Structure 1
């Protein structure tokens, strides 16, 4: 168990000293890049490839021609098969009624917004890395907390405050995963509306607005992730010695 505790301590210090500042700088570069520039908003609002009112008209026209041909064939078939009985005639009537009630069927897949998907793929590794790293850092701080002794708990408050700060950051970053999931569900519901009512322009525009909103949210996530990496690194580095040796002196210790 001692070897495991040593491994956790070494891993946590490496994360704090090296990986966190590196990730913060990478995210700062990403936030300043063209991919997250507000100039990309016009591209985000690109028209979604979904059926339009013209598609419906073309479909109905084509269906009408098919119905006329089918009616002719059914008429000939009915004359040649009068001896099939009333059961056959009833079946033919059902087929005719079905053909004469055209329904638009959307064939193919509805793609996700490619630019949003690219940004999500770029940010997801940072979110997962942060959450995984924070789990190690929390355990490291807990391992550094000495046993409770009456009248000799100086410095432990710094460890507890540091742990609370890390947990707060963890809670906020966890919510970013839910944001992406909710966006996908909402977009899927809107896409269903567009497919069902392609002649209603507001549904089509609502998909574009939702994509734009998600782009702004992803930019916000990138900025906040950068800030979380930076703040956790800063607060733990400033209090590193107090976290590692909370009872090195008997003076009152407070969090920087």
Structure 2
């Protein structure tokens, strides 16, 4: 067990001293790059490729016998009566995810997982440093507990970033279904564009917050490193 404890301590200090500042700098570079620039918002909105009302009008005007997106069905005319063998527009093929959003998610996911994995090690390291409960100088112990509480708070916040993508994809899928079903309703199409734009802004925020979290954890633990490792080193002096 002693060897395991030593391994955890070495891993935690390596993360704090080396990997966290490296990740913070990488994320700072990412946030400053063109891929997360607000100039990309226009491109984000242009990525949706779905049939429009004009597509359907042209499709019906040209006939649909050999059209890859057509089918023959009994439809209703404007008077409410059935028109046999009328042409209905059917979207054929896969509706892709927004590729620019997918790229950003792929870039950020490793940082989210690395932060959560690293924080699990750091929490255990701090807990292993906490001495047994006894009377005397507990100032160092309170530093350990405060540091542990701060790390746990950031861990909870970063864990929520994982849900961001799932909720976005579900919402986008529901909107896409409506766009395909009601291509003549422009608001549905615009709602998909707005959702993609919102996700882009959210991912930019995640990148900024991850950078800040890596930086703050590194700064907090480095400033209090000696108190965390030796919380009662000054106990003898405090007696006089």
TM-score, structure 2 length as denominator? Answer: 0.87
User: What's the Cα RMSD here?
Assistant: 2.1
Deviation at 1:52, TM superposition (A): 1.3
Cα distance in structure 1, aligned partners of 2:45 and 2:27: 24
Aligned position for 1:239: 224
* 1:208 paired residue number: 193
Distance 1:15 1:99, change over 3 A: farther
- Distance in 2 separating the partners of 1:151 and 1:47: 64
**3-state SS of 1:134 partner:** helix
Cα shift readout 1:53-109 (whole Å, capped 9, x = no counterpart): 13323444524899xxx9xxxxxxxxxxxxxxxxxxxxxxxxxx9962544321110
Distance 1:138 1:164 in 2: 9
Highest Rg: 1 or 2?
1
Structure 1 pair 65–175 and aligned structure 2 pair: CA distance change class (3 A): closer
Considering fraction of residues, name the structure with more strand.
Answer: 2
1:63-78 correspondence runs (5 A) = 63=64
The runs of 5 or more residues in structure 2 that have no matched partner are: 73-81
TM-score by length of 1: 0.82
Q: Which has the higher helix share?
A: 1
Task: Write the distance in 2 (CA, Å) between the matches of 1:65 and 1:129.
Answer: 52
- Number of equivalent positions: 223
Q: Report the equivalent of 1:21.
A: 21
Query: Is 2:175 the counterpart of 1:186?
Result: no
Quote the residue 1:115 is aligned against.
100
DSSP 3-state at the match of 2:203:
helix
Q: CA deviation at 1:140?
A: 0.4
Which protein has greater RCO, CA pairs closer than 8 Å, 6+ apart?
1
Equivalence for 1:74: none
CA distance in 1: counterparts of 2:191 and 2:6, whole angstroms: 54
Contact 2:47/2:98 (8 A) holds in 1 = no
